[in-house]
Amino acid sequence: MTVHPVASIGAQHPRVRDLLSLRKDGSPGRIMVEGGWEHDRLLTTTATIEAFFWCPEAAPDDIGAIVDRALEVYRISAKLLARLSRKTRSDGLISIARLPQWRPQAFRFSAESIVLVADGVEYAGNLGTLIRTADAAKVDCLILTSRRARPTHPAVYSASRGTVLSTPILEFDDIPAAADWLRGHRFQVHLADPAATGSYRIPRYDGPTAFVVGSEGSGLSREWHAEGFGAVSIPMLGQADSLNVALSAGILLFEARARKDGW
């Protein structure tokens, strides 16, 4: 095991102030990871652990694997842990991890490729669930447009079950740029629109396929409709007129994946 100098730090330490900032809303390229299973998942990735904070009174005895990976290791008190923690019951383990950086020009696609576009997603929990769903459906990447929720928000890590560290995520400054990128890679783009007359079961999904889902409150932006792509809907058979965005995305993604993989 690598031997790290372990400093006992208090509330005024710069790293604690840094962590408090991350706790609130994240920061570009970094995310707060807290808890036992969260760190188990973190260790299965190649993500850099920038700093690791542990509370001996609350943490498990075996933290060697995390200590080996962390660039910096800090010991904190139970009182400071309670201030830093976002969880009702903490495992005494908190890290700052770096998110991978993905470049649009680095991707190559095939007829089996699927991309999910999330437009204007407002809530970190829903964004995390979308990432987890994309991972489960073997999606090539997630594209964010008109983003409101940050992938670096700590709630995204929990809701995604840590797959935010392994799911390629691209963000475009505007919708036309994202649409042009999809066209350039010859994607068949389907807008998820409850008002569409065509069922999601109709397309063949026999080429690179992209689905665009909208925000929880206002739905899909008019700018996406202005790009001239076709729309699909999921038939509503009861009294509700729509589904949660992550559930809708899951239905669409798994339909396309089943067609492409033959199951």
- pLDDT one-digit tens code per residue, 202-225: 999 999 999 999 987 778 999 999
In a domain, 1, yes or no: no
Q: What is the pLDDT of residue 2?
A: 46
Both 149 and 240 in one domain: the answer is yes
Both 205 and 223 in one domain: the answer is yes
- pLDDT one-digit tens code per residue, 97-130: 999 999 999 999 999 999 999 999 999 999 999 9
Domain count of the chain?
2
Q: What is the pLDDT of residue 243?
A: 87
Q: What is the pLDDT of residue 217?
A: 78
Determine the structural domain holding residue 179 and report its residue range.
104-261
pLDDT exceeds 50 at position 147: yes
- pLDDT one-digit tens code per residue, 44-78: 999 999 999 999 999 888 899 999 999 999 999 99
In a domain, 190, yes or no: yes
Both 110 and 30 in one domain: the answer is no
C-alpha distances in Å from residue 226, one per residue of 135, 157, 187, 192: 29, 33, 17, 14
Please identify, among 81, 98, 115, the residue that sits at the C-terminal boundary of a domain.
98
In a domain, 109, yes or no: yes
Question: Given pLDDT bands bounded at 50, 70 and 90, which one contains residue 1?
Answer: very low
The residues, ordered by sequence, that sit 6+ positions from 66 with a Cβ below 8 Å of its Cβ are 39, 42, 43, 49, 52, 54, 93, 95
Residue-by-residue DSSP string for 143-198 = EEES--S-TTSHHHHHHTTTGGGTS-EEE-SSHHHHHHHHHHTT-EEEEE-TT-SS
pLDDT exceeds 50 at position 3: no
In a domain, 164, yes or no: yes
